[in-house]
């Protein structure tokens, strides 16, 4: 690792130790080291399939539910994935007594598996699913073990993942939690996100503190942030609480 990066990680470590209210705002790049592909890198889901954004849209779900679920099960659900050093260190920071909120755009459950309790999943989660007809809840295993299209055994309705698809609005409760945490934070750490997805990217405008860090391997869309150009798992593996 470059000496410049090592010096910046030391600064980040100091920031974390001195902060009273931390927000970690993460995207798909947080989970790539756990074997989950991101969306917009050279090998990302959207780069490899130019129709991907269309397929994971609200309209497409109802237009071609079989096609949606084929893509969803193959490309977006990774039940064998394990938390990487970033997930684990964030959980450790919380366990140490720090006030830290994880605001994630990811729909996997890796932050919770690592032990984090204060997590806001603004794009929903694969873990929760519901019948569109009767509202009955189902697990991700129920969905993955079903046929081509998961249907409710109670009423025969289609089961839909509780993830926010394109054309759908974020849940107001999640927006409120995220913005409240960001607005009161004195340290904002942004990791593994291109910040090209709105309205999520606009949440950063609510941060009023001075200490701002971005950890991203591909590019830096935030010129006024302390930029660490390294793998996020490697960076957090070097943080000492």
| Cα torsion through 213, 216, 220, 226, rounded to 10 | 20
Give the length of the chain: 241
Helical segments of the chain, H only: 3-18, 45-48, 52-55, 58-63, 65-75, 85-95, 110-114, 140-144, 172-184, 232-237
Active site residue 123: yes
User: Per DSSP, what are the bridge partners of residue 22?
Assistant: 100, 187
- What is the Cα–Cα distance from 170 to 109, expressed in whole angstroms? 18
Which one of 58, 123, 130, 171 is the catalytic residue? 123
| In the block, residue with structure tokens 């949440």 | 203
CA angle 85, 122, 174 (to 5 degrees): 120
Helix (H, G, I), strand (E, B) or coil at 82: coil
Check: CB of residue 105 under 8 Å from CB of residue 197: yes
| In the block, residue with structure tokens 């932050």 | 111
Catalytic residues: 123
């Amino acid at each position: 690792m470059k000496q410049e990066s090592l010096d910046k990680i030391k600064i980040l470590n100091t920031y974390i130790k001195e902060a009273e209210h931390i927000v970690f705002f993460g995207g798909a790049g947080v989970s790539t080291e756990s074997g989950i592909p991101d969306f917009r890198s050279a090998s990302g889901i959207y780069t490899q399939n130019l129709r991907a954004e269309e397929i994971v849209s609200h309209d497409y779900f109802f237009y071609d539910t079989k096609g949606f679920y084929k893509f969803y099960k193959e490309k977006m659900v990774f039940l064998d994935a394990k938390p990487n050093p970033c997930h684990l260190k964030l959980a450790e920071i919380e366990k140490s007594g720090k006030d830290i909120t994880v605001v994630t755009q990811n729909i996997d459950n890796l932050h919770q598996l690592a032990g984090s309790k204060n997590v806001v999943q603004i794009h929903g989660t694969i873990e929760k699913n519901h019948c569109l007809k009767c509202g009955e809840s189902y697990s991700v295993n129920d969905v993955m073990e079903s046929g081509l299209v998961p249907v409710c055994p109670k009423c025969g309705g289609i089961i839909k993942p509780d993830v926010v698809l394109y054309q759908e609005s974020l849940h107001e409760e999640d927006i409120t939690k995220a913005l409240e945490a960001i607005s009161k934070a004195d340290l904002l750490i942004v990791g593994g996100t291109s910040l090209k997805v709105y309205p999520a990217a606009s949440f950063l405008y609510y941060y009023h503190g001075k200490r701002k860090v971005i950890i991203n391997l591909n590019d830096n869309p935030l010129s006024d942030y302390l930029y660490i150009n390294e793998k996020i798992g490697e960076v957090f593996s070097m943080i000492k609480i």
